[in-house]
Amino acid sequence: MAEAALLLVDDDAPILRMLERTLTAEGYDVVAAADGGSALAAVERSVPDAIVLDVSMPGMDGLAVTRRLRAKGLRVPILLLTARDAVHERVAGLDAGADDYLVKPFDVDELSARVRAMLRRNAPAAVEQLAFADLTLELDTGTARRRGADLELTRREAELLALLLRNARGVVTRELALEEVWGGEGEVTMNAVDRYVAYLRRKLGEPPLIHTVRGIGFRLDRE
């Protein structure tokens, strides 16, 4: 999270300076704003990874800023700061679209922990990927690439390639491919495996990566 960009918004100058010093020291790229209008302008210039936003500000308060951002479709995580601890105040903040709520006075360590938690929750999910030599396959999308070029695979081709990649340098029998890729469908024959291996070979191009193990099945390898 050290490279994350934070927008800090508070009309209390000493608190704003304290937050800016603290979070900058933790490695965040910090932008500070003293009112709601400046906060919206800062987001227009560059969308941060998270916003720490005071509720009680003159003019446009933190709730109004939050509603404006959500109305624009921005899902950046927002932590609201407020001196009011009433339940209905917290509910109003969450209903406006905030992700978290912290009551003043607060411990800076707790604020830092809340910011880290928001960033973790909003971090993009890691892409599960299989790779061998210059070939990669993203499991969630079925997107394959070789030497940086995208390969257009059908769902069945992607499943067969995933099986070969998981067993790289080992032999994948036709029987295993039928079971894993086709689910043992009764009407599917061994010829289907050979046919789809041929499709994959054409799409993967040269040099060949899928090799026939005579009478048994196939092996994904460099040679």
Q: How many CB atoms lie within 10 A of CB 219?
A: 18
For residue 196, give both structure tokens.
């789809």
Q: At what angle do helices 87-96 and 62-71 cross, to 10 degrees?
A: 30
pLDDT tens readout for residues 20-70: 999 999 999 999 999 999 999 999 999 999 999 999 999 999 999 999 999
Q: Which of 39, 68, 55 has its CA nearest to residue 102? A: 55
Question: Which residues are CB-neighbours of 74 under 8 A, at least 6 positions away?
Answer: 43, 47
pLDDT tens digits, one per residue of 142-178: 899 998 889 999 999 999 999 999 999 999 999 999 8
What's the rounded Cα separation, in Å, for the pair 194 and 174? 8
Determine contact, residues 112/22, Cβ cutoff 8 Å. yes
pLDDT at residue number 184 = 61
- Per-residue pLDDT for 2 more than 70? no
pLDDT confidence of residue 125: 63
Tell me if residue 151 falls in helix, strand or coil: strand
pLDDT digits (tens, 9 = 90+) for 168-213: 999 999 999 988 888 866 666 788 899 999 999 999 999 999 999 9
H-helix or E-strand spanning residue 146 = strand 143-146
For every residue of 52-71, which 3-state class applies, written as one string?
EEECCCCCCCHHHHHHHHHH
Q: Alpha-carbon distance 107 to 219, whole Å? A: 59
Domains and CATH numbers, the chain: 5-122 (3.40.50.2300), 129-220 (1.10.10.10)
What pLDDT does 10 receive? 95
> Residue 82: enclosing H or E segment and its boundaries?
strand 78-82
pLDDT number for residue 199: 95
**Residue 3's pLDDT band (cuts 50, 70, 90):** confident
Question: Measured in Å, how far apart are the chain's first and last C-alpha atoms?
Answer: 42
Identify the pLDDT of residue 1.
40
Q: Quick check: 127 pLDDT over 70? A: no
Give the pLDDT of residue 187: 67
User: Which of 155, 176, 93, 162 minimizes the C-alpha distance to 129?
Assistant: 162
163 and 175 in contact (C-beta within 8 Å)?
Answer: no
- Tens of pLDDT, residues 70-115: 998 888 999 999 887 767 777 888 888 899 989 988 999 999 999 9
Beta bridge partners of 7: 31, 51
